[in-house]
Amino acid sequence: MTSRSEQYAVGFILSLLICLTTLLIPVSAQALGLADIELHSTLNQPLHATIPVSASKDELKLLEVSLASKKAFQRSGIPREKVLDSLTIKLIKQVPSPHIKITSKKSIREPMLEFVLSINSGNGSILRGYSLFISP
């Protein structure tokens, strides 16, 4: 039979081992995040907008971004306007400031632009809608 002080010592050592083990777990379990869209152009100019992305380096390697499918637009209730076909959507994986760059070659003449992005990662995909009010 073990003494009470031996039981406390064993319990203390086990607790210490558990604490040390949790410290070894990587802290880089950062969830993917998309910020608000930032508009860098005005009406009657080619579109230039960015969306800051928060993700780990490993997440960035797997990410793919595109304009959502026609079905996704229908489900979201956002009309898929013809002007959206002229958009170029590119994920800039530059650390420390990764972002989605949205541009167009043609000038945007509509003061309001709505679209849905599809973001695919190794863990699945998400859809995110954006609205831009483009002032003159």
Q: Please write the tens of the pLDDT for every residue from 90-99.
A: 999 987 889 9
Whether residue 15 is contained in a domain is answered as: no
Whether residue 27 is contained in a domain is answered as: no
Whether residue 41 is contained in a domain is answered as: yes
Sheet bearing 112-121, strands edge to edge: 64-67, 112-121, 124-133
Q: Which CATH number belongs to the domain containing residue 67 in this structure? A: 2.60.40.10
Domain count for the chain, please give it. Answer: 1
CA distance 2 to 8: 10
Please give the residue range of the domain that contains residue 92: 33-133
Q: In which band, very low, low, confident or very high, does the pLDDT at 14 lie, cut at 50, 70 and 90?
A: very low
Whether residue 24 is contained in a domain is answered as: no
- Would you say 83 and 38 are in contact if contact means Cβ atoms under 8 Å apart? no
pLDDT of residue 95: 79
Whether residue 14 is contained in a domain is answered as: no
**Does pTM surpass 0.85?**
no
- Is the pLDDT score of 51 beyond 80? yes
